[in-house]
Structure 1
Amino acid sequence: MSLNLLTDNELLALLRDDDEQAFRELYDRYWYKMYVIAHRKLRRKEVAEELAQELFVMIWQKRESLRVINLQAFLGVSLKNLMIDYIRRNIQEEHYLDQLQQFFPAETFATMEAVQLNELSEAIQNTLAKLPEKTREIFILNRFEHLTIREIAQRLNLSEKTIEYHLSRSTTFLRQNLRDFMTVWVLFLLS
């Protein structure tokens, strides 16, 4: 049976039964559209990719309990909520940095920023070292050498979906590990 001929509702029914191919079809159908919407609103490629990926991770995780009548509307509302959460987190981080700057002279803050940058760089290197070799390689090619997903796929002879998977996995892993690092740093500054 060709899944691309099925309706969204038929694919969702298959998805509830753990059909990975149905999920892949929905992903192929809507991931790029969700990415474009997020990119248009946030103007940040990496964040848009991450939020679109997070949306589909959430769909997979909630597949058994997902009851959706209009998938496109559900995706749009869910993506909007993810973007709002992202914006809120960034506003809070910027607010904390503004508050910190009021308590320290500019020279002290510049020195602290340099120390923090060195520590963050070290934390990134240590965290990258914990990733599987292929995931780490793909992350470095994308984030440090600025290759596109297509360029990486061609260079490594892998599918673009495989590259997207590895990038999603690495960014999620880094965000989780570096969030702890940043929390400790902020707590240290505030103590």
Structure 2
Amino acid sequence: LVTDYLRRYYKKQEITSYMMESAVTVTRSVESDLIANDLRKHEISRMSVLPSQRRQIYYMNRFLQMTSEDISKKLCLSKRTVENHLFIGRKEIREYIKKCI
């Protein structure tokens, strides 16, 4: 009887613990999603201020997942020019988001 009682008790504790962890994970997930959406809005608003070519290159890389080489072929630019625009664009947006946080 004692063994059965202890087995049920620990099983119940395990289930309760699992349910509590799941609830915390869901809460963290919702909070993380809200924070990510807010940061994305700030990123897009800052991106609209970038010069047109830099904005286009940043957008193609960040949101369309195009590589520097693909972008350079599509826009008829050198790969190094695209990389420079990406570097400067990322730097500007990173600094802006740091100020927002």
TM above 0.5: yes
- What amino acid is aligned across from residue 177 of structure 1 in structure 2? Y
Shift of 1:109: 2.4
Q: What are the equivalent positions in structure 2 for 1:100-179 lying under 5 Å apart?
A: 105-179=24-98
Shift of 1:111: 2.5
Residue 100 of structure 1 corresponds to which residue in structure 2? Answer: none
CA pair 116-157 structure 1, distance change in 2 beyond 3 A: same
Structure scoring higher RCO (CA < 8 A, sep ≥ 6) equals 2
- What amino acid is aligned across from residue 116 of structure 1 in structure 2? I
SS at match of 1:130: coil
Shift of 1:158: 1.0
Residue ranges of structure 2 left out of the alignment (5+ in a row) = 1-23
Instruction: Write out the 4+ residue segments of structure 1 that deviate beyond 4 Å after TM superposition.
Output: none
CA pair 150-107 structure 1, distance change in 2 beyond 3 A: closer
Shift of 1:114: 2.1
- What amino acid is aligned across from residue 165 of structure 1 in structure 2? N
- What amino acid is aligned across from residue 59 of structure 2 in structure 1? I
SS at match of 1:177: helix
CA distance in 2, matches of 1:143, 1:168: 12
Paired residues, what number?
A: 78
TM-score, with normalisation over the residues of structure 2?
A: 0.68
TM-score, with normalisation over the residues of structure 1?
A: 0.38
